[in-house]
Structure 1
Amino acid sequence: MSLPAYARLPVSFDVALLQGLLDQLPDEAWSAHFNTGDYQGEWRGVALIAPPAAVTPLAPPQRDEAVAATGWLLRFPAWQAVLARIEAPLRSARLLLLAPGSRILEHQDPDLGQPDGDVRLHIPLRTDPAVEFLLDGEAVPMAPGECWMLDLSRPHAVNNDSAISRVHLVLDVARNEWLMDAIAQGLADTPSARPGRGAAAFEQLRTLIHADPALVMRLGALVAPEAFTTELLRLALEHGLVLDAHDVARARRRGKQAWLQQWRA
């Protein structure tokens, strides 16, 4: 079975219990994420299952690398009952926190796209409607206590525009019959993703620009990509649209180059 882009598994968790366990962890348990080039702001986590010889605390295992409970899982063993709800071999278990106003920039995790590779599961513990998890430019509607499979070999990003820290329990799981059946069963009841706020704003801006031939010509005269992006963002702000340079870059990668070129024709 090939993986869908996302699926909500028929497994749910007690949110109050999860948040209570989360609040027991001391500040020193949290380490900065090692992918410093992939985020802005504060992204940190606690490893519960990891390779014993990992170079950094949050590093996922390499293929066939042995994993074990970390000191934090041994110190707070109540997490074991939570992890046991997933009836497949756990290759990694991490609590990942994205602070208010922070972003995980769009990137891909190609190892997760291998036909026999690990599968990434996300269980939101604490989140907010203003947190946007984008997968292929669409916002996946994950709610606290739910369990989602996400194919993160595809482009993905996260924006935390809320006033709270978003925290997910993130699991890398080896494929087995239970897991693949759960994904297949969950697909029938999985809510659809919606266009991300940036993508929706981008399309609104595009419509506004194409309605003004003079503006199309002015934009077409901007040869430097930086100047072009700066002017797009100024126009977005002028029309009350929430858009940033990452949204513009994402639109380019998602096949919008054709209409961008129209402005320079």
Structure 2
Amino acid sequence: MIRFARLPLTANIREIQKEVNLLLNNQWLPHYNRHDYEGSWDVLVLRGLNGNSQQAFADQVQHGDFANTEILAQCPEIERFLNSLACEKRSVRLLNLKSGAVIKEHRDLELAFENGEARLHIPVFTNPKVAFYLDNHLLKMQEGECWYINANLPHRLSNKGQTDRIHLVIDCEVNDWLRSVFQHSESAANMVSEKELWDREKELKRQTIQNLRLQNTEATLTLAATLEQEFREKELAFSDPLA
């Protein structure tokens, strides 16, 4: 399983920076995972569920189809870059980690290349005092680069600089084109085995299933049953036949 990779994709960062500067006075939303951070971590939705710029969720638990928001129409260079990605785009957001803010270690369950979804990060504005750790690896992402991170792994970050850190974050569906891009990236050295990952995530899976059941709605109970079946299949696959 790939931990992270710098991809051979280049954005016209100076033009994107100009567009983002013009958006700074827009109504940015506080990130919805408020227990995961301290300080200010804000979101501007460029592509979201049902094209709603006021809906900051990046997954389909809330139900709906992903569509461009009216804000993306103000960003022709960002839209050009998105169109250059020959794969289906789901959520597209600008994430602003303000100066002095800290994001606590957390995981985005199942969000990984091997599970069919790849989260790409393009730093728009950053500074040398931003520290992004993925699975305890310090990633030094520079403005205009394109990075994949396996968000299913533990990650944390802080911005101890004097300026805000803004990333363009794109969730893509994996297809043959994206697989080809990954084959030309420096990702081979950043692997973790499926068994190692499963040993790390079992308890989180159990907690997720329990929390879904406590919500006790038709949708959450159905999802809990699906996750429990997947859990049992994984346990069986990785169990020691001699144990």
Scaled by the length of structure 1, the TM-score of the pair is 0.66
Q: Kindly provide the CA deviation profile for residues 52-92 of structure 1, in whole angstroms up to 9, marking residues without a partner as x.
A: 17695221131784110112113444431121122211011
The CA deviation at 1:129 is 1.3
The equivalences for 1:120-199 within 5 A come to: 120-187=119-186
Match of 2:31 in 1: 33
Higher relative CO (Cα under 8 Å, sequence separation at least 6) belongs to 2
Aligned position for 1:52: 50
Which runs of 5 or more residues in structure 1 are unaligned? 193-265
Structure 2, gaps ≥5 residues long: 191-243
Shift of 1:158: 0.8
1:220-235 alignment to 2 at 5 Å?
none
How many residue pairs were aligned? 189
Deviation at 1:29, TM superposition (A): 3.2
Contact 1:92/1:172 (8 A) holds in 2: yes
What is the CA–CA distance in structure 1 between the aligned matches of 2:108 and 2:163, rounded to whole Å?
26
CA distance in 1, matches of 2:146, 2:113: 21
Note the C-alpha offset of 1:128: 1.0
Give me the whole-angstrom Cα distance separating, in 1, the residues matched to 2:15 and 2:76: 13
- CA RMSD, 1 decimal: 2.3
**Which digits, 9 at most, give the CA deviation of each residue in 1:119-173, with x for residues without a partner?**
1100001101110110011111111101011001000011101111000000000
C-alpha contact 1:8 1:189 (8 A) present in aligned 2: no
Distance, in Å, in 2 between the alignment partners of 1:55 and 1:26 is 15
Judged with a 3 Å threshold, the aligned counterparts in structure 2 of structure 1 residues 142 and 57 are, in CA distance, closer, same or farther, namely same
Cα distance in 2 for partners of 1:54, 1:71 equals 8
The structure 1 segments of at least 4 consecutive aligned residues displaced by more than 4 Å after TM superposition are 53-56
Describe the superposition over 1:167-188 as per-residue Cα deviations: whole angstroms up to 9, x where unpaired: 0000000001111111121126
1:1-265 equivalences under 5 Å are 3-52=1-50, 57-62=55-60, 65-113=64-112, 115-187=114-186
